[in-house]
Chains A and B, each alone.
Chain A
Amino acid sequence: MNEQHPSRSDGAILRVEGLHKSYGDNHVLRGVSMQMRRGETVVVIGPSGTGKSTLLRCINQLSVPDRGRVWLGDREITCKKQNINCLRAEIGFVFQNFNLFTHLTALANVRIGPMKVKGLKKAAATELAMDELARVGLSDKADAYPAELSGGQQQRVSIARALAMSPQLMLFDEPTSALDPELIGEVLDVMVSLAKEGMTMLVVSHEMGFARSVSDSIIFMEGGVILEQGPPEEFFTAPKEERTRVFLSKITELYGE
């Protein structure tokens, strides 16, 4: 996929160096380093409790890492002098549990960032938000409250909410794990089309089909470190690490091909 976008591969859009994070005695991240080029889709897999979600949260500082540095382009996110709100606005985050604002309609959920962070006028923000809702196929649900939407629709609204900020990077934290099986497809479809449009995406997921067909690179995490990283063909057919092989065989048993 990178070969198709040579112009977009200039320099790393995201750089993570030596990230450590503990919660009490639990040393969740034990020195994670990685980078992503613009337009890349990277999928992070691994057993639960190995720090995949913590990695995403440390990248946009929703959790503050104990050690290590993170750069978005040439700006250091972990630098204390950086205005973290500005940088977060450039990094979309999609949560496992959607976390749509309960008191706002779908439209208002998508509109709030452009209005209150970017300072767009209501009319302009509404237009933008309607465009983003159309992009995830939910124009007709603009006036619905989150409680009136299915899980899949809520997750699509939350993707639209992130997209409305025109992010440079999208982080997805198990975006389909809280969904009923029949609703997973509609969310994955949106993500596939985003990847095709050249959005830079870092995705924690157990959706092997998505990882195999869409990602440029797969990261296998265990015990708070990255054990293996490689392009999907290589990763699935000839994993280097024994631990990766064990995990892959378990996950294929569980989720099928």
Chain B
Amino acid sequence: MGFFAFAWSILPDLLHATRMTLWITSGSIVLGFLVGIFLALGRVYGPRPIRWLTGGYIQFFRGTPLLVQLLVVYYGLPPYLASLGIQISPLAAAIIGLGLNSAAYQAEYFRGAVQSIQSGQMMAARSVGLSRVRAIRYVILPQALRLVIPSWSNELIYSIKYSSLAYFVSLTELTFVGKKIALHTARTFETYVVVAAIYLVIVLIVSRLLWMLEQRARIPGLGVPTEHR
């Protein structure tokens, strides 16, 4: 069987596994986004204990290997939650592990964006009578989220690829299924080429979507001009 015929024959199984990859990625990026925003705001605007806690969280998750974090969550969290009477699936455990890690990185991107906004914006918002929370909600975040898109795109693309680490906690995602096919067919090289190609296609599509989002969200005078990309 030639390469293309072989690739075609394993594609259905791999595409099926790709769905799991997309679930893991989207789950962890969304969780990381929500947690990351609160971490960043806590780090910039919080009182000292909150700044210290959020800083510690970020240092911890950036300073230890992602795979180790994932294993800790996967083996540590379910028994603990079970003792509280809560069952979580391996998928949920993987999403939590990857998401908490992503949150640390996203928080740093958000923090950079928030701090790049001129202090006069907050002052003007307060002068109109907006509370601090509302000033953040209506003035700071809408600007920060636009500014963060380019660096945040990196994080999303990383997380697509990091989802393959869920292989170690035996989720049937793309890399895991690729490994199984490679073993069964003994055509290791060809199998992994197809697996890599699928990741590449996902990343290219996502990059394009992010670029479109960036264009749509553009506002004159906010952020770097993007004509020359």
A residues near B, CB below 8 A? 60, 62, 85-86, 88-93, 95, 97, 99-103, 112-113, 116-117, 145-148, 158, 161-162, 165
Is the pair A147, B220 in contact by a Cβ cutoff of 8 Å?
yes
Is the pair B146, A103 in contact by a Cβ cutoff of 8 Å?
yes
For residue B219, CB closer than 8 A to chain A, the reply is yes
Is the pair B129, A103 in contact by a Cβ cutoff of 8 Å?
no
For residue B139, CB closer than 8 A to chain A, the reply is yes
Contacts A85-B131, A161-B128; A102 near B123 (Cβ below 8 A): no
Kindly provide the distance from the CB of A115 to the nearest chain B CB, expressed in whole angstroms.
9
Contacts A102-B221, A116-B134, A145-B219; A89 near B129 (Cβ below 8 A): yes
Contacts A62-B123, A103-B146; A148 near B221 (Cβ below 8 A): yes
Interface centre among B118, B126, B127, B138 (most CB of A within 10 A): B127
Q: How distant is the Cα of A89 from the Cα of B220 in the complex, in angstroms? A: 28
Kindly provide the distance from the CB of B227 to the nearest chain A CB, expressed in whole angstroms.
15
Interface centre among A93, A99, A165 (most CB of B within 10 A): A99
Kindly provide the distance from the CB of A56 to the nearest chain B CB, expressed in whole angstroms.
10
A103, A145, A165: the one contacting B128 at CB < 8 Å is A165
Is the pair B138, A99 in contact by a Cβ cutoff of 8 Å?
no
Interface contacts beyond A85-B130, A99-B120, A145-B219: sample of 6 additional A-B pairs, CB < 8 Å, sorted by A: A89-B128, A95-B124, A101-B121, A113-B128, A145-B220, A147-B221
Q: How distant is the Cα of A88 from the Cα of B54 in the complex, in angstroms? A: 31
Kindly provide the distance from the CB of B115 to the nearest chain A CB, expressed in whole angstroms.
15
Q: How distant is the Cα of A67 from the Cα of B128 in the complex, in angstroms? A: 24
For residue B159, CB closer than 8 A to chain A, the reply is no
Chain A hits for B121, CB < 8 A:
99, 101-102
Q: How distant is the Cα of A112 from the Cα of B120 in the complex, in angstroms? A: 16
In the assembled complex, 14 residue pairs joining A and B whose CB atoms fall closer than 8 Å, in A order, are A60-B127, A86-B129, A88-B128, A88-B129, A89-B128, A90-B129, A95-B127, A100-B124, A103-B222, A113-B129, A147-B221, A148-B221, A161-B128, A162-B128
Contacts A103-B146, A103-B222; A95 near B130 (Cβ below 8 A): no
Q: How distant is the Cα of A102 from the Cα of B120 in the complex, in angstroms? A: 11
Is the pair A101, B125 in contact by a Cβ cutoff of 8 Å?
yes
For residue B175, CB closer than 8 A to chain A, the reply is no
Kindly provide the distance from the CB of A53 to the nearest chain B CB, expressed in whole angstroms.
12
Contacts A103-B222, A145-B221, A146-B221; A117 near B128 (Cβ below 8 A): yes
Kindly provide the distance from the CB of A214 to the nearest chain B CB, expressed in whole angstroms.
23
Contact with A along B144-165 (1 / 0, CB 8 A): 0010000000000000000000
Give the A-B pair count, Cβ closer than 8 A: 77
Q: How distant is the Cα of A101 from the Cα of B117 in the complex, in angstroms? A: 10
For residue B142, CB closer than 8 A to chain A, the reply is yes
For residue B21, CB closer than 8 A to chain A, the reply is no
For residue B143, CB closer than 8 A to chain A, the reply is yes
Q: How distant is the Cα of A89 from the Cα of B123 in the complex, in angstroms? A: 13
Is the pair B127, A62 in contact by a Cβ cutoff of 8 Å?
yes
Contact with A along B197-229 (1 / 0, CB 8 A): 000000000000000000000011110000000
Chain A hits for B130, CB < 8 A:
85, 112-113, 116-117
Chain B hits for A97, CB < 8 A:
120
Q: How distant is the Cα of A97 from the Cα of B118 in the complex, in angstroms? A: 11
Is the pair A62, B128 in contact by a Cβ cutoff of 8 Å?
no
Chain A hits for B126, CB < 8 A:
62, 85, 88
Q: How distant is the Cα of A106 from the Cα of B205 in the complex, in angstroms? A: 36
Is the pair A101, B127 in contact by a Cβ cutoff of 8 Å?
no
Chain A hits for B134, CB < 8 A:
116-117
Is the pair A148, B220 in contact by a Cβ cutoff of 8 Å?
yes
Within 8 A of A (CB), among B70-96: none
Chain B hits for A147, CB < 8 A:
219-222
Chain B hits for A161, CB < 8 A:
128
Q: How distant is the Cα of A188 from the Cα of B172 in the complex, in angstroms? A: 70
Chain A hits for B128, CB < 8 A:
88-89, 112-113, 117, 161-162, 165
